[in-house]
Amino acid sequence: MKTISTDKCYGGTQGVYVSRSDACDCDMTFAVFVPPQAAERKLPVLWYLSGLTCTHANVMEKGEYRRLAAELGLVIVCPDTSPRGDHVPDEPDNWQFGKGAGFYVDAIEPPFSTNYRMYSYIVEELPKLVAAEFPADMTRQGIFGHSMGGHGAITIALKNPERFRSCSAFAPICHPSVSGWSRPAFEKYLGSNKAVWRSYDACALIEDGRRFPEFFVDQGGSDAFLADGLRPAELKAVCAAAGVKLTLRMQEGYGHSYFFISTFMDDHLRWHAERLAGEVEDCSSAGAFRSGPGGKENIL
């Protein structure tokens, strides 16, 4: 692992690092925020998965997570969203596929299967590096993300419920195997076998019996991608049918950008901090879960 940069921020350290990824057959860049409490003990780890076109930098610059993460004592890990490099196959004019659009799957179709293995990178490879290099208590992990990264967070939590204590999302792609936004990418990465598609689809995973204790989702009411790309109503219906607890808040007037994400970042950090408290440490300083401005539950 090589350090690209470290900056003191809110008493902690925001770092950017690069490491060779065997899963993706390329160098992968990621950001880690280590709060000041890490000088004394290992801390819970919260994974943030970004959306289409993003690198590690978008949420690092615009997500506004450090103030409260420093207060709550959360290590925040922000990976890239795809393999990178000149040798990585891409469709440069397609923002919904290729570089910046790994969809957190392990591709099985050539030529993408060599590099586009973001599922293995996020679930297997990067956690080992984080455990080895940072003051991270890997018994206490949560995961969240935005849009394509919200899809990543929910599907990874459903497939690894023993790993994560908490999962939330901002405007997640809830039903990617049917959404016009993601279905073409699934076809190119995963081929024509719909059973494989379902293994990377939040709604389908729940329909097929996967479970996670509870989800917390914020969705902007003025998000242009709500109806086709994101489909939170379908996640709500599937969760209701399966008895999976879902807190879904429609935030009226909010869009799909980091102006939306940053507004509700505090709520998500507190949600995770409460659930990542436990035997090792009392996180009661996280305080009660507080609703953001205009938050309404389950109105979809």
Question: Where along the sequence are the contacts to its own copies (CB under 8 A)?
Answer: 7-11, 14, 36, 61-62, 64, 66-67, 222, 253-255, 257-260, 262-263, 266, 293-294
Q: CB of 17: closest distance to its own copies in angstroms?
A: 16
For residue 148, give the nearest of 48, 292, 295 by alpha carbon: 48
Smallest distance from its own copies to CB 292, Å: 9
Indicate the length of the chain as a whole number: 300
Shortest Cβ 81–its own copies spacing (Å): 19
Sheet strands side by side (includes 75-79):
2-9, 12-21, 26-34, 75-79, 43-49, 136-146, 164-170, 214-220, 245-251
282 is catalytic: no
* Minimum separation from the CB atom of position 156 to its own copies (A): 28
Q: Is 256 a catalytic residue?
A: yes
Residue with smaller CB distance to its own copies, 213 or 287: 287
CA dihedral 273→278→282→286, nearest 10 degrees, is 20
Residue closer to its own copies by CB (options 114, 262) is: 262
Tell me whether residue 9 or residue 233 sits nearer to its own copies (CB atom): 9
Give the tokens for residue 248: 């879904």
Nearest to 225, CA basis, from 260, 197, 190: 260
Smaller CB separation from its own copies, 53 or 120: 53
Q: Please confirm, yes or no, whether 266 is among the known catalytic residues.
A: no
Cβ-contact 204, 182 below 8 angstroms: no
Active site residues: 147, 223, 256
